[in-house]
Structure 1
Amino acid sequence: MNFGKVNNVYFIGIGGIGMSAIARYFVANGKQVSGYDKTPTEITNSLEEIGVTIHFEDDIKAVSEVFLNPENTLVVYTPAIPKNHSEFNYFKDNGFNVLKRSAVLGEITKQTVCLAVAGTHGKTTTTSILGHLLHVCNVPVTAFLGGISENYNSNLIINGTEVTVVEADEFDRSFLTLSPDLACITSMDADHLDIYGNAEALVSTFKEFSECIKPNGKLFIKNGLPLKGITYGIEDDSDYCAQNISIVNGSYVFDVKTPSGIYKNFKFCLPGRHNLSNAIIALAMAAEYGCSYEELAKGLETYQGVKRRFTYQIKTDDFVFIDDYAHHPEEINAVHQAVREMYPDKKVLAIFQPHLFSRTKDFVDGFAESLSKFDELLLLDIYPARELPIEGVTSKWLLDKIENSNKKLIQKTEIINEIKKSEAQIVLTIGAGDIGVEVKHIKEAFYV
């Protein structure tokens, strides 16, 4: 599609993290942008601040007249929108160009050098590190992020349009619309089984994605994955590898082994080996693009992270409060590893909100195992998102499987009182649902 002929872009589900990044892109490129979402949020508020008109009822009469001309309006929708959505059906039935978010991203990246980050875990952090590194190295880059960068307070980094950095999202097989020049796969753990049916189908689709890379492109894979490519890892025999790792004042200091030699004294401030792994692949892709290791070292040291990815909310000698988006057993394991590495002698209280009935059902034993590792656990009800309840799949069912004597099922209104009753010095909020809304209240209650 020729976006040059488009004057107006209308988004159905504009408040989504991926949708809002594309909305910002079109605003930056001089288009009129408007959209619908279910409820106002910080994201919709920030879009309105840059001139985007948003309404919150599904009613075509609420759409401005400007956006009702099919000749010059592009309609972008998220796959989370229900099939009976009246605005969606109006645009579809009246000759508008109606494209899924992933298809629009595919079109935007087609005329650029595209660096794509795929994997069931680590996409958002890796993409934001890579976008930041390229920006610091003065590459003319546009990076679409699946989270809010602490460095830029945005999910879009713009420093030009010759290069794009994108998350290659496996949900709904969206990443198959991309044709990257450089791509990485961070992990292929089973997830989204409501879409794929089984783990084998998911792995098969990742392999299909690897075949979407342009003929002279390069694929980077985490060491151990069943694919061929440039490997990366930590303290192993990978092509790109972190070595001589130490922790100095809460930050990783390490050397990087590369195909061209060993580069010393890199510094990275995010806790957790999973984040260090994300940093290595971002460094590798930026280096293969052509950035110098001297510039990359400066960029990595100034990287501040993504909101809700091991984000420190309170950090004192006596009390630490960390918030994280983890919603899969492997992600919870990574959070646990990070907090134990940073605070080996402290008592840890985790507050977890399961996300989706289907994910809870598919990975209940994995969740039980990962959550059992914390000293104390407070479990919230399942956040349904797009799903209807599944009989027998409840937080109580999960709680009964968790081998931890200090466990409890609570409501969100009880969180602060339960923290006050605990002797834990480290408190974690974990989950991809609306538990993030509680972070502000917890911070206000305990910030000194």
Structure 2
Amino acid sequence: MTIYHFTGIKGSGMSSLAQILFDSGETVQGSDVETYYFTEQPLRERNIKILKFDPDNIQPGMTVIAGNAFPDSHPEIVRAKELGGDVIRYHKFLGEYIKKFTSIAITGAHGKTTTTGLMSHVIGGYKPTSYLIGDGTGLGKKDASYFVMEACEYRRHFLAYHPDYAIMTNIDFDHPDYFSDIEDVFSAFQELALQVKKAIIAWGDDEHLQKIQANVPVIYYGFGDRNDFIAKNIEKTTEGSSFEVYVRNEYYDRFFIPLFGDHAILNSLAVIALCHYEGVPVNIIKERMKTFHGVKRRFTETKIGNNVLVDDYAHHPTEIVATIQSARQKYPDREIVAIFQPHTFSRTEAFLQQFADSLKMADSVYLCDIFSSAREHNGNLSIEDLAALIDGSEILRNEGIENLKKHSDAVFLFMGAGDVNKYQKAFEDILRTGA
């Protein structure tokens, strides 16, 4: 019996994969730092053993799956190699594992996580489906036909995969610490396109995705008339969005999703297109769409009194716009308060003006100090540089959280990819205790 040991099991992808293997009947354990991460909750619910990093964790015969954040010199990896055991990097292992299924890779600069969640929820109503979502959620089905996975472009990690299908939600410049420009990002997606085996479902209103070349059909979706799958006659309410779908200009059906914003409609359209291609009955697609309520850290709401606190991973200007747009649709009569923590100095510097422009869509703006890794050097950049571009914005630090109380009956958007949730938790405590 193989024991799978995950070095860095609290990583979002690593946690998801550990859950999948465990659910599929494998013996799984892992190690990581002692700091609590939300990704460990589903591991603990399954009673998967989480150890402190220690070379003694590694025993003969184990297969070690190593997170990409850990170099070959990591003591556990060194010990595994000394014992002659298998050491496989996360992406390589996953690339081999998905060959057992009809695999669906969801990629794009924005929208990956929600689309992966929606895709697995909808197609899971048709046939057993295993899935890996980048928010630390994974599920393994022993009799799975489909494997739906989030595939990230960062450092070209997704090139470890040769999926049957790929959904490409958009191409945008991000990760400026790795990609040099938009053409560099495009080249990564183009390389992936040539590895897809059955079909690509791509957002046709994206100028870059229109240029994708592939050896399989490229099916386009969007709002523009040139797409293969088009959303028309859209109705947006405080309950969600409904729209008609036309397939190559022929009416297909009307769908409702309890989600908000144009991006949610587009993500849904991508799922509908792939399900149509796979022959999923339309009544299944419609029913499953109605019962999808999102994924972790994507417009996740907490209501305290008359206040709505939203936790959202938005860390790029495009994503901030989408989150504010969603809030305006769902809460059209409320004040929208943005609390934003930039993630990495390189991204903040590259998009400084775009961050300012997107945040100005909110009624009030609070900025938290830039969250960064120890590997980054900040130069002379600080949160004050962003604040200077947004009239009326305030810098929020721990001791000033109570300042948020001056906004009542408001929607508070806590946005960022770092630890912005600590500010939300502190504000929640103030609201609950009346401090």
Please name the residue that 1:426 is paired with: 411
> Among 25, 50, 56, which residue is 1:54 paired with?
50
Alignment pair present for 1:403 and 2:390 = yes
Please name the residue that 2:17 is paired with: 22
> Among 66, 75, 87, which residue is 2:76 paired with?
87
Residues 238 and 331 of structure 2 are in contact (CA less than 8 Å); yes or no, is this contact kept in structure 1?
Answer: no
Please name the residue that 2:420 is paired with: 435
Please name the residue that 2:378 is paired with: 390
Please name the residue that 1:255 is paired with: 244
> Among 24, 28, 32, which residue is 1:33 paired with?
28
Aligned-pair distance for 1:314? 1.6
Residues 314 and 443 of structure 1 are in contact (CA less than 8 Å); yes or no, is this contact kept in structure 2?
Answer: no
Residues 20 and 47 of structure 1 are in contact (CA less than 8 Å); yes or no, is this contact kept in structure 2?
Answer: yes
Please name the residue that 2:152 is paired with: 169
CA distance in 2: counterparts of 1:347 and 1:182, whole angstroms:
41
Please name the residue that 1:3 is paired with: none
Aligned-pair distance for 1:345? 4.0
Residues 350 and 428 of structure 1 are in contact (CA less than 8 Å); yes or no, is this contact kept in structure 2?
Answer: yes
Distance change (3 Å), C-alpha of 1:358 and 1:92: farther
Residues 14 and 90 of structure 2 are in contact (CA less than 8 Å); yes or no, is this contact kept in structure 1?
Answer: yes
Aligned-pair distance for 1:260? 8.2
CA distance in 2: counterparts of 1:204 and 1:305, whole angstroms:
31
> Among 407, 411, 414, which residue is 2:400 paired with?
414
List aligned pairs for 1:90-239, cutoff 5 A. Answer: 90-137=79-126, 139-147=127-135, 154-156=137-139, 158=141, 160-214=143-197, 217-223=198-204, 224=206, 225=209, 226-227=211-212, 229-234=218-223, 236-239=225-228
> Among 309, 312, 318, which residue is 1:321 paired with?
309
Distance change (3 Å), C-alpha of 1:114 and 1:83: same
Aligned-pair distance for 1:94? 4.3
- % identity of equivalent residues: 32
List aligned pairs for 1:262-301, cutoff 5 A. Answer: 262-301=251-290
Residues 141 and 159 of structure 1 are in contact (CA less than 8 Å); yes or no, is this contact kept in structure 2?
Answer: no
Distance change (3 Å), C-alpha of 1:423 and 1:440: closer
Aligned-pair distance for 1:234? 2.8
CA distance in 2: counterparts of 1:117 and 1:403, whole angstroms:
34
Distance change (3 Å), C-alpha of 1:196 and 1:258: same
Distance change (3 Å), C-alpha of 1:346 and 1:48: closer
Amino acid at match of 2:141: I
* Cα RMSD, aligned residues only: 2.2
CA distance in 2: counterparts of 1:55 and 1:285, whole angstroms:
40
Residues 349 and 424 of structure 1 are in contact (CA less than 8 Å); yes or no, is this contact kept in structure 2?
Answer: no
List aligned pairs for 1:62-77, cutoff 5 A. Answer: 63=57, 67-69=58-60, 72-77=61-66
Please name the residue that 1:307 is paired with: 296
Secondary structure at the counterpart of residue 134 of structure 2: strand
What are the ranges of 5 or more consecutive residues in structure 2 without an aligned counterpart? none
Distance change (3 Å), C-alpha of 1:346 and 1:49: closer
Residues 9 and 74 of structure 1 are in contact (CA less than 8 Å); yes or no, is this contact kept in structure 2?
Answer: yes
Please name the residue that 1:355 is paired with: 343
Residues 60 and 87 of structure 1 are in contact (CA less than 8 Å); yes or no, is this contact kept in structure 2?
Answer: yes
Residues 80 and 386 of structure 1 are in contact (CA less than 8 Å); yes or no, is this contact kept in structure 2?
Answer: no
Residues 256 and 262 of structure 1 are in contact (CA less than 8 Å); yes or no, is this contact kept in structure 2?
Answer: yes
Residues 255 and 286 of structure 2 are in contact (CA less than 8 Å); yes or no, is this contact kept in structure 1?
Answer: yes
CA distance in 2: counterparts of 1:193 and 1:109, whole angstroms:
30
Distance change (3 Å), C-alpha of 1:443 and 1:289: farther
Residues 145 and 156 of structure 1 are in contact (CA less than 8 Å); yes or no, is this contact kept in structure 2?
Answer: no
Distance change (3 Å), C-alpha of 1:332 and 1:248: closer
Deviations 1:213-243 (A, max 9, x none): 12xx111111132325211113643111211
CA distance in 1: counterparts of 2:351 and 2:88, whole angstroms:
32
Q: Give the aligned length.
A: 424
What are the ranges of 5 or more consecutive residues in structure 1 without an aligned counterpart? 1-5, 149-153
Distance change (3 Å), C-alpha of 1:235 and 1:345: farther
CA distance in 2: counterparts of 1:176 and 1:307, whole angstroms:
26
Which region of structure 1 is more displaced relative to structure 2, 322-331 or 189-198? 189-198
Aligned-pair distance for 1:81? 2.5
CA distance in 2: counterparts of 1:97 and 1:199, whole angstroms:
37
Secondary structure at the counterpart of residue 289 of structure 2: helix
Deviations 1:224-272 (A, max 9, x none): 3232521111364311121111124421111111248323331100111
Please name the residue that 2:353 is paired with: 365
Residues 202 and 220 of structure 2 are in contact (CA less than 8 Å); yes or no, is this contact kept in structure 1?
Answer: yes
What's the TM-score, normalizing by structure 2?
0.91
Aligned-pair distance for 1:159? 6.9
Distance change (3 Å), C-alpha of 1:35 and 1:120: same
Residues 329 and 367 of structure 1 are in contact (CA less than 8 Å); yes or no, is this contact kept in structure 2?
Answer: yes
Distance change (3 Å), C-alpha of 1:423 and 1:22: same
